[in-house]
Amino acid sequence: MKRRAFLVALLATYGCGPNDAPKKGADANNNARAASATPPITTPPAQTQRKTPRVVMLFFGTRDLPAATTSEAAALFRNRLTELGYVEGKSIVVEERYADGDPQQLTQLARDIAQSKPDVVVTVAFAATTAMRQATSTIPIVMLHAGNPVGSGLVQSLSHPGGNVTGTTSMVPDLGAKQVDLLRQLIPGLARLAVILNPTNAGHASAVTYVTDAARLHNIRVVVAEVSRADDFDKAFRALRGAHPDALFVMMEPLIGANRGLILEFAAANRLPASYDVGSEIVRQGGLISYGPLLRSHYAQGADYVDKILRGADPGSLPVQQPTQFALTINLKTASSLGLTIPQSLLLRADEVIQ
């Protein structure tokens, strides 16, 4: 009896009834269950550093071309990116590449850019867009004022570009007819019209058709001088002198823009009234008159395209935009040197008149 009392007392000390396991064991089991219900403490993974998007601008020309196609264009593009909230060097990187009017260098630059895999490439004018498209079919390309993008195969259509190219075009079907009308107002007896163009520019090949069709309606003979390299200008000028034109229409693009000084000298030496389809800057430098799309606006539009693409938009689904703003610039000093009187109707329409 004393032995039984001793055992009961001993079990009570450990908190056990006759049919219970030791309390210490129960506590251990409870602790294990609690541990399994509480998620383990882990060290949070390091945050993945977000890549800063990189945009490369590819120019066929040089930095000192007229404002529509120079490094000022890059400044206009950057300014718009800033307005959109980007901070260069922090939330975006913009680089510039210039081919200096050399087709071979342009091709190599396009290849190098493609190999570096930027997020977007912005190409200025048709030649740069073509070179970049040949270098890549996957990197998004935003073209700026490229001529005839549909006819050249850069895009499927203006409304549905498809592929990796979108942007703006300088193509205006009736611009050639307006140029002819403009020169007829300046020179009422216009009978022979000379045209300088680059046959490798897809936009020029179609634009000259509109010029010749409009000229034919007024019995004006059109003489075309082609330049596809810098060495072609002397030959082109000799051909034009022999044709004795009454006026000159210059289709501007990077190669011709890079040699604008030669054209201005030729027009002045031969007392030839000259009109330019793009570039009020060339009129400020001595050209007579220019009428065409205001290309400065395309650089802000280009930044808008880049912003949409960086946010996930498919370039092939972004419609190509045509020019909506045009500018007429007249140099009265040049007109006076040529003995021309500018009609009051043109002066009233002009966006800029240089005295």
Q: Pull the structure tokens for residue 2.
A: 């004393």
pLDDT digits (tens, 9 = 90+) for 182-235: 999 999 899 999 999 999 887 777 788 889 999 999 999 999 999 998 899 999
- Please identify, in words, the CATH class of the domain defined by 175-294+326-354: alpha beta
pLDDT (0 to 100) of residue 255:
84
**Count of CB atoms situated within 10 Å of the CB of 308:** 17
On the question of pLDDT at 158 being above 70, the answer is yes
Its pTM stands at 0.78
If you average pLDDT over residues 44-58, what whole number do you get? Answer: 74
- Residue 61 pLDDT class (50, 70, 90 cuts): confident
Interval 318-339: pLDDT, tens: 999 999 889 999 999 999 999 9
> For the chain, where do the domains classified as CATH 3.40.50.2300 start and end?
54-170+295-317, 175-294+326-354
**What is the rounded average pLDDT for all residues in the chain?**
85
In angstroms, rounded to a whole number, what is the distance separating the alpha carbons of residues 354 and 332?
6
- Minimal CA–CA distance to 327: which of 298, 282, 295? 295
pLDDT of 125 strictly over 90: no
pLDDT of residue 42: 43
The residue to which tokens 């005839």 are assigned: 148
- Residue 7: predicted pLDDT: 40
pLDDT > 80? residue 133: yes
| Fold category of 54-170+295-317 in CATH | Rossmann fold (3.40.50)
Q: Nearest 5°: CA angle at 263, between 257 and 268?
A: 140
Q: What is the distance between the alpha carbons of residues 256 and 236, in angstroms, rounded to a whole number?
A: 12
What confidence score (pLDDT) does residue 65 get?
A: 52
Percent of the chain with pLDDT over 90: 63
